[in-house]
Amino acid sequence: MEVSTILVADYANIAEGGKPNVMGIFRQINAETFPVRHPDMYLIVVLLAGPAEFGQKRTITVKLINEDATQELANFSAPIDVPTAISGRKSEINSILRLRDVIFTTPGTYQFSVLVDNDEKATLPIELNKIERPTS
């Protein structure tokens, strides 16, 4: 199993036909003060599975950790059933995780890690930046 897409966005859903809709992709959050609360974000992960994995049960885990890996801001696991695809093609599994009211304590690089059966398959860094308020 491999990750073909990993994004963080302001909003996402799965449309008819299993297609992911994504709005407001970002990799940075700017704040004047810390800690800062991000009210709502979506992590979008698209997994691809080959024919040898069809019909198997797997577990996907998503972790959000701080820069020095001393704080885990989110940890979510869910079972997935690997569907069978059309002959000769890989199966596509679209996953969306909504994260509400995440508190980032300090500026720095935070990281989403995606694991399948405890094996890390992909990471996505996001930057938390402290910005100065413009003076008039």
Tell me if the pTM is above 0.85.
yes
Reduce the DSSP state of residue 51 to 3 states and report it.
Answer: helix
Nearest CA among 93, 2, 108, 94 for reference residue 42 = 94
The CB density around residue 114, as the number of other CB atoms within 10 Å, is: 21
**Domains along the chain with CATH numbers:** 2-14+21-130 (2.60.40.2550)
What does the pLDDT look like over 98-112, one tens digit per residue? Answer: 999 999 999 999 999
Q: Are 127 and 31 in contact (CB under 8 A)?
A: no
Overall average pLDDT of the 40-65 stretch: 96
